[in-house]
C-alpha cells in the first residue's frame, strides 16, 4: 500500500488507516479479527482515542490485541474529551495532559504514543500551556509527534505561531471530517494546513455510511446499519441535496468500472496534503474493501469532474 508522511514529522503511514472508534463496543474477538486483517492488508496507522469504547475500552482492547505487534504500527490516540461525568477529566491543561497520557499509555500497554492528538479545542486553557505540556511529553520520549482535531483555522494558526515563538513542538496533523459530502474545511482549514505543512487525516470519509452505496433514497434503512442506530442524527446527511449528489457520484463511479465507496476513497487520496484516510471497520471484509478502494488513482480531469458533481449551493 502507498505510504505517506504525517506532515513534517518524518513518520510514515499507510494511506488508509484503521479507525478504532468501534473497539470497546465490539467484543474483543471481533476487534481482534479486524486488527489481524488490517495488519495483513498493510495498514500501519491505527487511530483511537481515550474516550472511544465507553471511555477507555478501545485503548484497552488495542493494548490487549496488539501485544508484540505494537512495534509494527503507528499508534495514534487522543485526549481532551470528558473521561468522567463530573467533567474533571477533560480539556487540555498541563496537569490533565500529563494524567491523560499516562492513562492512555497504561491502557495501550505501550511506552510511547506515535501521534498524540488534542481531540478538541479547550477555551479554558491558554494554548501556550497546552503546547508546553505536549512538548514535555515529546522531550520525555512518551510521544513522537502531536496533532489536533476539530480545531478552527484561526486557532490553529495561533497555535503554530506560539510553537515557533517558544520553540515548542507543533501540531503536524489535523483530524477533521472531510468527504465528498462534507467539504467545509476547504474554505479555511485546508489552506492553513498547506501553509504550515501539516497532514490531513479525514474522519467519516464515507459520510457515516451514505457513501457506501448501501442506502437508497426513499427505501427503508437496513437494520443494523449505522444510520439505523443513529436515528435522527442521520438526517444531517440524508438531505435532498446529498441524495442527488450520491446518485450522480454512483453513476460516475459505475461509468469508470468502480463503486461509490471506491470513489469516496480515491477522491480523498487524490489530495496531496492527505496523510491517511481514517476508516472505521467492524468486520474484516470492510477493512479489505477499504484497502482495495485505495488502488484507484483518479486523473486530474476526473478529480475536477467529481468536484463539480459535489459542489453545493
Q: Which of 52, 96, 215, 237 is catalytic?
A: 52
Query: How many residues appear in the chain?
Result: 313
8 A C-beta contact, residue 118 and residue 130: yes
CA 2 → CA 8, 15, 117, 241, 290, distances in Å? 17, 6, 23, 33, 13
Helix (H, G, I), strand (E, B) or coil at 227: helix
Q: Who contacts 168 (Cβ-Cβ below 8 Å, separation ≥6)? A: 131, 132, 134, 135, 162
User: Which of 149, 134, 130 has its CA nearest to residue 51?
Assistant: 149
Would you give the DSSP letter of residue 23? B
Is residue 9 within 8 Å of 172, Cβ to Cβ? yes
52 belongs to the catalytic site: yes
Of the candidates 135, 108, 110, 107, the residue with the CA atom closest to the CA atom of residue 118 = 135
Q: In 3-state terms, what secondary structure has residue 138?
A: helix
Q: Give the residue numbers marked as catalytic.
A: 52
Amino acid at each position: 500500500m502507498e505510504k505517506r508522511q504525517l506532515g513534517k514529522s518524518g513518520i510514515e503511514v499507510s494511506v488508509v488507516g484503521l479507525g478504532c472508534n468501534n473497539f470497546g463496543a465490539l467484543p474483543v474477538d471481533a476487534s481482534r479479527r479486524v486488527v489481524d486483517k488490517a495488519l495483513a492488508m498493510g495498514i500501519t496507522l491505527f487511530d483511537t482515542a481515550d474516550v472511544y469504547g465507553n471511555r477507555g475500552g478501545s485503548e484497552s482492547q488495542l493494548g490487549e490485541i496488539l501485544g508484540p505487534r505494537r512495534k509494527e504500527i503507528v499508534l495514534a490516540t487522543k485526549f481532551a474529551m470528558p473521561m468522567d461525568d463530573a467533567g474533571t477529566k477533560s480539556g487540555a491543561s498541563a496537569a490533565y495532559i500529563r494524567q491523560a497520557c499516562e492513562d492512555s499509555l497504561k491502557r495501550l500497554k505501550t511506552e510511547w504514543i506515535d501521534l498524540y492528538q488534542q481531540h478538541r479545542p479547550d477555551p479554558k486553557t491558554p494554548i501556550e500551556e497546552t503546547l508546553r505540556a505536549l512538548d514535555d511529553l515529546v522531550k520525555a520520549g512518551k510521544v513522537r509527534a502531536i496533532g489536533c482535531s476539530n480545531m478552527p483555522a484561526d486557532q490553529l494558526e495561533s497555535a503554530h505561531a506560539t510553537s515557533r515563538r517558544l520553540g515548542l513542538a507543533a501540531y503536524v496533523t489535523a483530524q477533521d471530517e472531510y468527504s465528498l459530502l462534507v467539504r467545509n474545511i476547504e474554505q479555511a482549514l485546508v489552506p492553513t494546513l498547506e501553509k504550515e505543512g501539516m497532514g490531513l487525516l479525514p474522519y467519516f470519509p464515507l459520510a457515516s455510511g451514505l457513501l457506501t452505496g448501501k442506502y437508497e433514497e426513499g427505501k427503508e434503512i437496513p437494520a443494523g446499519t449505522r444510520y439505523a442506530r443513529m436515528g435522527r442524527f442521520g438526517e444531517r446527511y440524508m438531505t435532498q441535496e446529498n441524495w442527488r449528489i450520491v446518485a450522480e457520484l454512483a453513476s460516475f463511479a459505475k461509468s469508470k468500472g468502480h463503486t461509490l465507496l471506491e470513489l469516496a476513497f480515491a477522491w480523498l487520496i487524490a489530495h496531496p496534503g492527505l496523510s491517511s484516510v481514517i476508516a472505521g471497520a467492524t468486520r474484516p471484509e470492510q477493512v479489505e474493501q477499504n484497502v482495495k478502494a485505495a488502488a484507484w488513482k483518479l486523473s486530474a480531469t476526473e478529480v475536477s469532474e467529481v468536484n463539480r458533481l459535489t459542489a453545493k449551493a
